[in-house]
Amino acid sequence: MTQPATNQADRSPTALRRSGSVHPIVSGFYPDPTICPVGEDYYLAHSSFEYFPGAPIFHSKDLVEWTQIGNILTRRNQFRRGDGKPSAGIYGSTLRHREGRFWFITTNVSDYNAGQLIVHTADPAGEWSDPIHIPEAIGIDPDLCWDDTGQCYLTWHALDFTTGEQSIRQAPLDLATGRFTAPDYPLWQGSGLPAAEGPHLYQIGDYWYLSLAEGGTERGHCITVARSTSPRGPFESCPSNPIFSRRSTIHPVQNVGHADLVLTPQGEWAAVYLGVRPRGSTPGFHVLGRETFLAGIEWRDGWPVFVEDRFDVPVTSTDFFDDFTSPELDMRWIVPGGEPATAVQLAESGGITILPPSSGGAGLLCTRVRDLQWTAEAAISGSGRFLLRLDDRHWYGLSLEAGRVKAQARIGGVQQDLAEIPATTNIVTFRIDVVPPSSAPVPVGDAGPDEVILSLIDGGMARELARLDGRYLSTEVASGFTGRVLAVAANSHPAVIHSVSYQGHPD
């Protein structure tokens, strides 16, 4: 039986919408959060899958307001490309700080035979080290902890990528070499639900607490915990597991799991965790990927209890205007399966040239969508595309080539031109609007999560070329672990992108 995560008397949708747990602290496709405190500061990192640079890292002073300070994996020798397929690449991770140094351990599933991957640094906003691989630890979701003797332990979700056999395992680790200093062994395997993942160990008082995500990262996701007097176990399962879940509830944030606990300088505990905001008629469609949320943690009878509305999380602006005049690309820009340096040339007069894939580059540049409703525009000349994409088989967009403007859609194996008109100016401005669905998601309705409007700005007015159901750009339809991104791309010729603007429209 799940303990009531809070003592809220009123759990109606209206009441829940007022609770601070409705808004993410980092909105958009920033999943698998891992957090560490350093003095009065907090640092937060995320999985990033096939996108490069990988593992975005954020900073905060209050756990609520976060600013991205960089990406951890910025060199290909840290993040070997592999097949670059959708939802491959960088999975769940752990960020820790010890004796003046930051440690980040993760899995590149595009290079899974290399085992877990560790990088470290003294400056989290700067360059991180070359990788230390741990070939004895095949699987995902690695965690690092240290006991009072300074012995480091690697705990991870051992996964045989061919047989699918899986378990939570641990080994004492030599961080300098990435080698086990003794054979690995099984640890607590969770409360019995499938997909026990995301292990994190914390030494708190007389106990070592081991938290897990169980149930899989969909609607059955939950957080469980066990404790022991040793990091090696044996572990005692919490009698009220799962200690946090939204399964079988009407809460607007679902799929909650994959938590990491953090101790504040004031001696209180909190937790970051992932969740999704599904919209539309059943089964509900989430389009921004898994986002990062914040809860308080109270201790009752020696066990952690989630207090989901401890923090009031405001909606913060995610708006931007980029004319690419800065000497380097802004850290928001990422490339699926490739690297910006081979896809993009900064033009001296501002703007960028995106080279077509035939040149050997990825042919596009992306940035995460961070709001449920928003408007974006891109000024393009010559040849080019402006897309809302989930992956290379699920996207809606506008294309300029040979003086012709097209609205297009790709859903799975089907691609369709939806409208075609002549371009009326050398530099065209494409606009994408995402708005609520026109049909209300009544209990038995068939509404998608939103509608995507593709327009050409013509004579200062938005000329609508297509209006599409957003459900086909959701994770429930496309599958995988990522979320929507905005993309500017080349056609068969190089694209000149003069500027991109984005404006969120909060609920």
Catalytic residue list = 32, 197
Minimum CB–partner distance for residue 20 and ligand 6LW (Å): 24
Alpha-carbon span 359 to 343, nearest angstrom: 9
Beta-carbon contacts of residue 265 (< 8 Å; ≥ 6 apart)? 37, 39, 40
Q: What is the number of alpha carbons within 13 Å of residue 345 lying toward its C-beta?
A: 12
Minimum CB–partner distance for residue 147 and ligand 6LW (Å): 24
- Binding residue (CB under 6 A) for ligand 6LW from 92, 289, 384, 470: 92
Binding to ligand 6LW (CB under 6 A) within 293-352 occurs at: none
Contact status: 198 vs ligand 6LW (CB under 6 A): yes
Q: 272-302: string of b/e by CB count within 10 Å (b at 16+)?
A: bbbbbbbbbbeebbbbbbbbbbbbbbeeeee
Partner residues linked to 458 by β-bridges: 461
Minimum CB–partner distance for residue 255 and ligand 6LW (Å): 9
Q: Report CA Rg, the chain.
A: 23
- Binding residue (CB under 6 A) for ligand 6LW from 111, 197, 308, 371: 197
- Binding residue (CB under 6 A) for ligand 6LW from 42, 52, 91, 386: 91
Beta-carbon contacts of residue 257 (< 8 Å; ≥ 6 apart)? 198, 213, 214, 215, 217, 221, 222, 223, 244, 245, 273, 274
Helix (H, G, I), strand (E, B) or coil at 475: helix
Question: Which C-beta is closer to ligand 6LW: that of 221 or that of 431?
Answer: 221
Question: Which C-beta is closer to ligand 6LW: that of 269 or that of 481?
Answer: 481
- Binding residue (CB under 6 A) for ligand 6LW from 6, 27, 32, 474: 32
Q: Which stretch binds ligand 6LW (CB under 6 A): 68-76, 211-219, 300-308, 360-368?
A: 211-219
Minimum CB–partner distance for residue 109 and ligand 6LW (Å): 8
Q: Which stretch binds ligand 6LW (CB under 6 A): 8-16, 175-183, 209-217, 440-448?
A: 209-217
Minimum CB–partner distance for residue 127 and ligand 6LW (Å): 25
- Binding residue (CB under 6 A) for ligand 6LW from 34, 47, 211, 475: 47
Q: Which stretch binds ligand 6LW (CB under 6 A): 22-30, 165-173, 212-220, 307-315?
A: 212-220
| Phi/psi at 370 (5° precision) | -125, 5
Contact status: 210 vs ligand 6LW (CB under 6 A): no
Contact status: 31 vs ligand 6LW (CB under 6 A): yes
Dihedral, CA of residue 349, residue 354, residue 355 and residue 357, to nearest 10: 180
Contact present, 244 and 256 (Cβ < 8 Å): yes
Question: Which C-beta is closer to ligand 6LW: that of 198 or that of 448?
Answer: 198
Question: Which C-beta is closer to ligand 6LW: that of 235 or that of 273?
Answer: 273
Alpha-carbon span 397 to 412, nearest angstrom: 15
Beta-carbon contacts of residue 136 (< 8 Å; ≥ 6 apart)? 115, 171, 179, 180, 184
Helix (H, G, I), strand (E, B) or coil at 68: strand
Minimum CB–partner distance for residue 275 and ligand 6LW (Å): 13
Minimum CB–partner distance for residue 430 and ligand 6LW (Å): 32
Q: Which stretch binds ligand 6LW (CB under 6 A): 213-221, 260-268, 307-315, 333-341?
A: 213-221
- Binding residue (CB under 6 A) for ligand 6LW from 50, 141, 143, 322: 141
Question: Which C-beta is closer to ligand 6LW: that of 42 or that of 91?
Answer: 91
Minimum CB–partner distance for residue 226 and ligand 6LW (Å): 17
Binding to ligand 6LW (CB under 6 A) within 235-294 occurs at: 258
Question: Which C-beta is closer to ligand 6LW: that of 140 or that of 398?
Answer: 140
Distances (CA, A) of 456 to 6, 407, 416, 435, 493: 48, 9, 18, 17, 20
Q: How many residues does the chain have?
A: 507
- Binding residue (CB under 6 A) for ligand 6LW from 29, 481, 487, 490: 481
- Binding residue (CB under 6 A) for ligand 6LW from 21, 217, 408, 455: 217
Contact present, 276 and 220 (Cβ < 8 Å): no
Alpha-carbon span 413 to 200, nearest angstrom: 40
- Report CA 193 to chain centroid distance, whole Å: 24
Contacting residues toward ligand 6LW, per CB under 6 A: 31-32, 47, 91-92, 140-141, 197-198, 213, 216-217, 258, 481
